[in-house]
Amino acid sequence: MECENTIRCLKEALDGETTASQKYSEYSDVARKEGFPNVAYLFEALSEAEQVHIKNPTNALKLEESEEYAPRVDEYEIGNTLENVRASIEGETWENKDMYPGFLEKTKSEKDKENVKVARLSMEWALKVEKTHAEVLSEALEALKKGKDLDVDQIYVCEVCGNLVFDLPEKICPVCKHDVSFYTKIERGA
């Protein structure tokens, strides 16, 4: 990873998550236009989940810096729905296997500061959640390969960690362990 300390890692995470949120919003429009309203809905929910991944590192940064960080949006391509789903799986998998583990490794030596504790927790949650994002995108990919739309009626996002589920957990979020009341149903066309 390029980041050399917790602050830099948080800023890189913000850049990546900001890009992902914007990209998923645009991917949603493509899926809707191509006749895949449920894949469009999934991308809407993913965009909302990435907003949680923006909120958490922003809160950790506020503990350390007085100036608000303005994340940059990296360049990305927009293809057809199938291409966009594949690119999304690749991105979520990279974040889960490389980006967040690398960030966590870089922040190990800075243990005692409050912002580092918040940052590490945020990164640990994001690492787990990005894996679930790749899994739901893989479901969409399988449907698209068969020429079908994703079979989903409702999508919920945990407002604490960004976990995304099709069926509301019974009691607690499996990622952050917060009460299920922190899940929000994503409205279509949000």
User: Span 64-74, mean pLDDT?
Assistant: 81
- Three-state SS for 127-170 is HHHHHHHHHHHHHHHHHHHCCCCCCCCCCEEECCCCCEECCCCC
Domains of the chain: 6-153 (1.20.1260.10)
For residue 103, what are the CA distances in angstroms to 33, 116, 174?
Answer: 37, 11, 22
For residue 190, what are the CA distances in angstroms to 20, 25, 129?
Answer: 16, 10, 21
What is the C-alpha separation between 89 and 46, in angstroms, rounded?
Answer: 12
Q: What is the pLDDT of residues 88-130, one digit of tens each?
A: 999 999 999 999 999 888 888 776 677 788 888 999 999 999 9
Angle at 47 between CA 154 and CA 124, to 5 degrees: 100
Q: What is the pLDDT of residues 164-187, one digit of tens each?
A: 999 888 899 999 999 999 999 999
Average pLDDT, the chain: 91
- pTM: predicted TM-score of the whole model, two decimal places: 0.93
The band of 1, judged by pLDDT with boundaries at 50, 70 and 90, is: very low
Q: What is the pLDDT of residues 10-29, one digit of tens each?
A: 899 999 999 999 999 999 99
Residue 148 in this model has a pLDDT that exceeds 90: yes
What is the C-alpha separation between 52 and 113, in angstroms, rounded?
Answer: 22
Q: Side by side, which strands form the sheet with 156-158?
A: 164-165, 156-158, 183-185
What's residue 62's pLDDT?
Answer: 77
Query: Could you write out the DSSP letters of every residue in 28-95?
Result: HHHHHHTT-HHHHHHHHHHHHHHHHHHHHHHHHHHTT-SSPP-----------HHHHHHHHHHHHHHI
